[in-house]
Amino acid sequence: MVLIVNEVFDDAEHESPEHPERPGRVQAAMAGVADLHLGEDLVVAPRHSATRAELLRVHAGGYLDELGAYCYGGGGDIDQDTYATYDSWSIATLSAGAGLSVVAELQRRGEGVGFVAARPPGHHALKDRAMGFCLLNNVAVTAAALVNQGERVAIIDWDVHHGNGTQQIFWDEPNVLYASMHQWPLFPGSGAASEVGGRSALGATINVPLPEGATGDATRRALDEVIAPAVDAFGPTWVLVSAGFDAHRLDPMADLCLSDADYGDLAARVSRFVDGPGRLAFFLEGGYEFGALRASVASTLSAVLDAGFSGEPRSNGGPGYEQINRVKTQRLAAIESWTREYEKEGQS
């Protein structure tokens, strides 16, 4: 099978001293791709910046104006976590466009798997605010473009942090399912099991919070027992993965304990959500330990390409496995309670 990649490799000017979201992350991820020795099965998609019209599907115009002006005014710290430089606007719009060109290439071929190796990451970026290292919401820009073409998109987010930006953008969008598993409590603080989507998309937001120390078995169970049934009921025509690799046990950013093999397991499961060939793409989100990032990318893509990568063994035995039952209960209770609430509103 073909792997379509789009690598935003001229990202060196988006950096801040000692900041972990730094140049080198894309190279580490692409080293993981190189480890698969795909030869002619590795295809590089053309590069283009996302247009204003493409960005406006998910971001407020005023925010885009401000962000562009802020960058070209020299940039600086946006908040305690997030920075921009003079070049960040052009790099962020290239990153937001990278997914669009990968999807276009997959559509042209009607086969293959996509991988978007771009930074800054996107899943914390809100409609009108940069946050959590993220300026523009890359995966959301691509999902919104697909919805605009009449597709139904499932976004599976396995970054260790909750993708609050993606959740906010599609909260009430019935053609997008957003499912996240993440450490909790942890930045950004959102992502409780009771967050299930807005009135027009009730149940199409799925959150599985996991405790510190959770291992691969808990994530497998989360996918199989909470996320998969919701995805099946939703019936996506496309699957996009917010693939952060900061839940790896070696990553300094958080305290989940996944191994690189666990990512392969998750990827294999997610690939079964897809309706047909050429309708699956992975987007780099977090992942700050270069060795773990490289191996986890290789494991993820190998699982869907059948490329025979073997890394460390899968992980088991951490806390969180039993907690999945509580997640199911809380999620169902929230959906029922909102359903009753909306019925009441409808009657009055």
Partner 1 sequence: MNQVTSIAVGFDGSVESETALRWAAGMAHESGASLTVVHASGILERLGSAFDPDVVPEAVESIMAQEGIDPSRYHWVIEEGDACSALLACASPPVNAQVLVVGSRGHGKRPGTMIGSVSLEVVQHAKVPVVVVPGS
Site residues for Zn ion per CB under 5 A = 159, 161, 244, 246, 286
> Which residues on neighbouring strands pair with residue 281, listed in sequence order?
114, 240
Among Zn ion, partner 1, none, what binds residue 244 when CB lies within 5 to 8 Å by partner kind? Zn ion
Q: Between the CA of residue 318 and those of 172, 195, 197, 323, what are the distances in Å? A: 34, 25, 29, 11
Q: Of residues 124, 162, 182, 248, which has the active-site annotation?
A: 124
- Closest alpha carbon to 21 in 130, 106, 151: 130
Among 28, 253, 292, 334, binds partner 1 (CB under 8 A): 253
Active site residue 161: no
Among 89, 115, 170, 187, binds partner 1 (CB under 8 A): 187
CB 64 within 8 A of CB 56: yes
| C-beta of 63 vs 245, nearer to partner 1 | 63
Measured from the CB of residue 105, what is the shortest distance to Zn ion in angstroms? 27
| 186 in contact with partner 1 (CB under 8 A) | yes
Among 39, 62, 150, 346, binds partner 1 (CB under 8 A): 62
Among Zn ion, partner 1, none, what binds residue 1 when CB lies within 5 to 8 Å by partner kind? none
* Residue 330 to residue 205: CA distance in whole angstroms: 13
Using CB under 8 A, which residues numbered 150 to 169 contact partner 1? 161
- Closest alpha carbon to 270 in 300, 247, 298: 300
Among partner 1, Zn ion, none, what binds residue 129 when CB lies within 5 to 8 Å by partner kind? partner 1
DSSP 223: I
CB 243 within 8 A of CB 301: no
DSSP 129: B
CB 116 within 8 A of CB 283: yes
Active site positions, annotated: 124
> Under the rule (CB under 8 A), what is the footprint of partner 1?
18-20, 62-63, 66-67, 69-70, 73, 76-81, 84, 129-133, 161, 185-190, 252-254
